[in-house]
Each structure stands twice: as C-alpha cells, then as structure tokens.
C-alpha cells in the first residue's frame, strides 16, 4: 500500500489500530495448534506460585468469564488449566508472558503502520493511531481492509480498525466490532454512531461510574450528549466534561508521534520459506536500502545495525553489530546486514528484517563513517567492511568470503 501523507488540519481522517487479544495471538504464532483454543496469558499459575494475574485472555477463554487483570486464581476456577491433551474440553491453555517475543511481533506491526502512513502515534505495544491525511472518505474502508491484510500478512496477527474524524471516535469505532473488525464513521455519522452506545462502553467509564451515571438516568452516550455539560461537571468534575465531549464526538487533538523513534526497521516475508542464499541476500539488500532511506529522511543517525531471521514455523533469531559512532551510511547498512545474514546461509527462512537502532538526531555532519576512521581500531574495522563491500559489489551481488 502506498504511504499516505501526514497532515495537521482540523479536518482529520484518523485511523485507530488495535490488535485483537495480542499476547494470546502471539502465542498462537509460536504454537499454531492453539488456534481456536481458550488461551490465557499471565503469571502465577505455575506450580508453587500463589499470586498472579491474567495479562490477556483469548475470546474463547472470555466465554468462560476469564478477563484481563483478573486474579489468576479466579481464572483457574472459571477455566481449569489443561494438563494433558486428553483433558476435558472445558479447560484452557495457560502460557507465561513472553514480552521479548511480543515486542518482536509488535515491531512487525509498527513497520506496516510506518509504511502505510507518514504520521503514526504508537500508544502501546498493540495499539496505534494513524493520521490518514486528505484520504477521501469513500476510500477509507478500502484503506482499512488493505491495512488489516498487510498486518496479518507481515506480522501474522489480526487487528481491529476504526476510522473516524477524531481520535476518540476512531478508538470507539475499533472497539465496536471486535474481533477482526473494521468500522468507518464519517463526519456526518458520528452522533448517530455514538448515540446508542452503552455508557460503560465509553472510555474511562468503569463499573462505579456506570452505576452513578445510571442513577442520573444516563443509559447511553446519546443521553449524555443531550444533557447540559454542567450536570456532568457537577457530578464528576473535569472527567464529566471529558465524558460529555466524548459522547458528542468532540475531540480536537491531532495525531502526533509520541517522541522520536528508538529504532527503524523493515521486514518482509517470503511467499514460501526458502533456503536459497542469493534469494535471501536479495531480500536483505532491498530491506537495507529501505531502512537506510527512512533514517536519512528522518534525519537519524544510527550506532547499531541488525537483522531478524524468522525460521518456520515462527522461530525468531536476531543478530546485531554496534558501531563506534553514529553514522548515516546506506552502504554500511547493507554490508553489515549481509555479513550478519551469512550465519543463516543454509537455513530455511520465512521472513527477514533489517533494523537500525541506537538512533541519534545530531548534526548531520557526523553522518559519514569517514569522520571516525582515525579514532580507533574498532572504527577502522567497520570502515573496512564498508570499503570491501563497495569494492566487491558487482551487478547487485557481493562476495562475503572475506567476512567469514
């Protein structure tokens, strides 16, 4: 999908992306046999552990009443842990939190989002807002379909997507048809979309607040929207003002990136896993060029260059090399990535990725590695890698024999 420009205007088209039961979905990537099974991700169910909580419950587990943040002891009462394959079907599969793996999959998702929109605000490991610029509303649904397909193809997980004129409504839209949902709310549809929504579906409304609202005869967002703002403010303070605005679909915030990125990456999967060394090298060359171009466009220098190699079914391997100083050097990115890839020359691979990290946004005059050549031996070694790569690149191919 072609990347959309970011804009800063009051007439926004905002997309909210929310991964469905993300931790459980990641566990299913590691164990495809868990598809359709009740999966609970959390801590405290292991032998000898007395305390813990549910981090994520799949939709199948939620049918038994298991919810996120629930005490693990309560979850085990509702859905006993499956000990063997022959256990009763009314049991669930419990897995510990594997944050390193989840962050790896999240990076795959973020790479898709960065490719599809210029302005992205990542708000958590499994949630982000996109500014879709001047995208025509009649094109919004097709954009959402393509975005969901790109995420599933590249990261292997399913997202629910909401598209609306502002951030608050977009988030409510992404929640409205989970899982695997796509809801588009055009500007003239916002009030009608929100009106029938139960008060507890609004952001920030927990059980206590919902009870208080119902005591005031507020059952739906439409009821709140029709009320005088002062009534809500008198009852809930500034939170009441926010609730009134939310129910009316009023939100003038712009989608802004949350801080500068810590890394930039690009990843791509093969249609079928391959062990062919040249096919893998060709993929890495393209990814290295894309990542280096993005770093240059963002004014970023990098101190670390790395690769990700995913072997079937989903065995993730990462390798990285740290440089002696921050650089902007596309040839070096390619050379180091190919050097790191050589370890996997004989392995079947389903996906490859290239990443630059330890970013800095200092004076661009430091962007050439040549400035570091005489500082110490380690820098000279990095420079030699780049130099050998340039000398031995012929017709898009590179001889890595000297790197072994």
Let me know if 127 is a catalytic residue: yes
Tell which residue, 376, 286, 370, has the closest CA to residue 333.
286
Distance CA 298, CA 283 (A): 23
Other C-beta atoms closer than 10 Å to the C-beta of 232 total 23
Strands 182-184 and 315-327: unpaired
Q: Do residues 202 and 219 touch, judged by C-beta distance below 8 A?
A: no
- Rg, Å, the chain Cα set: 25
Beta bridge partners of 163: 15, 184
Distance CA 102, CA 203 (A): 25
Q: Do residues 220 and 232 touch, judged by C-beta distance below 8 A?
A: no
Q: What DSSP state is assigned to residue 180?
A: S
Q: Tokens in use for 20?
A: 């469905």
SS3 309: strand
Distance CA 364, CA 328 (A): 8
Helix (H) or strand (E) holding 28: helix 22-30
| Catalytic residue (choose from 37, 127, 267, 334) | 127
Distance CA 86, CA 150 (A): 37
Would you please indicate which residues are annotated as catalytic (active-site) residues? 127
């Amino acid at each position: 999908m072609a990347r959309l420009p970011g804009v800063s205007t009051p007439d926004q088209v905002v997309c909210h992306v929310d991964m469905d039961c993300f931790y459980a979905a990641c566990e299913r990537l590691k164990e495809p046999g868990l598809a359709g099974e009740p999966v609970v991700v959390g801590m405290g169910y292991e032998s000898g552990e007395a305390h813990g909580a549910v981090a994520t419950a799949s939709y199948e587990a939620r049918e038994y009443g298991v919810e996120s943040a629930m005490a693990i002891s309560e979850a085990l009462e509702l859905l006993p842990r499956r000990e063997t394959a022959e256990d009763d079907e009314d049991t669930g599969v419990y897995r510990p939190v594997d944050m390193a793996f989840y962050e790896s999959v999240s990076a795959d998702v973020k790479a898709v989002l960065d490719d599809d929109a210029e302005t992205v605000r990542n708000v958590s490991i499994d949630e982000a807002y996109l500014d879709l610029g001047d995208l025509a509303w009649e094109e919004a649904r097709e954009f959402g379909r393509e975005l969901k397909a790109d995420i599933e193809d590249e990261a292997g997980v399913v997202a629910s997507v909401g598209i609306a004129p502002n951030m608050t409504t977009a988030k409510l839209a992404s929640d409205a048809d989970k899982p695997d949902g796509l809801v588009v709310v055009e500007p003239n549809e916002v009030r009608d979309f929100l009106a029938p929504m139960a008060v507890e579906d609004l952001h920030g409304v927990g059980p206590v607040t919902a009870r208080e609202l119902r005591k005031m005869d507020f059952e739906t967002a439409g009821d709140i929207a029709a009320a005088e703002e002062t009534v809500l403010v008198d009852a809930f303070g500034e939170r009441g003002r926010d609730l009134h605005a939310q129910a009316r679909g009023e939100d003038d915030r712009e989608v802004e990136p949350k801080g500068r990125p810590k890394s930039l990456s690009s990843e791509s999967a093969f249609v079928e896993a391959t062990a062919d060394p040249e096919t893998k090298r060709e993929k890495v060359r393209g990814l290295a060029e894309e990542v280096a171009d993005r770093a240059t466009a963002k004014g970023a220098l990098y101190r670390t260059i790395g690769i990700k190699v995913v072997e079937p079914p989903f065995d993730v391997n990462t390798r990285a090399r740290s440089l002696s100083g921050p650089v902007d050097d596309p040839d070096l990115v390619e050379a180091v990535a190919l050097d790191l890839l050589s370890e996997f020359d004989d392995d079947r691979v389903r996906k490859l990725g290239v990443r630059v990290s330890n970013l800095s946004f200092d004076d661009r005059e430091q962007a050439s590695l040549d400035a570091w050549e005489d500082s110490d031996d380690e820098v000279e070694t990095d420079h030699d890698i780049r130099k050998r790569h340039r000398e031995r690149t012929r017709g898009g191919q590179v001889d890595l024999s000297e790197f072994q």
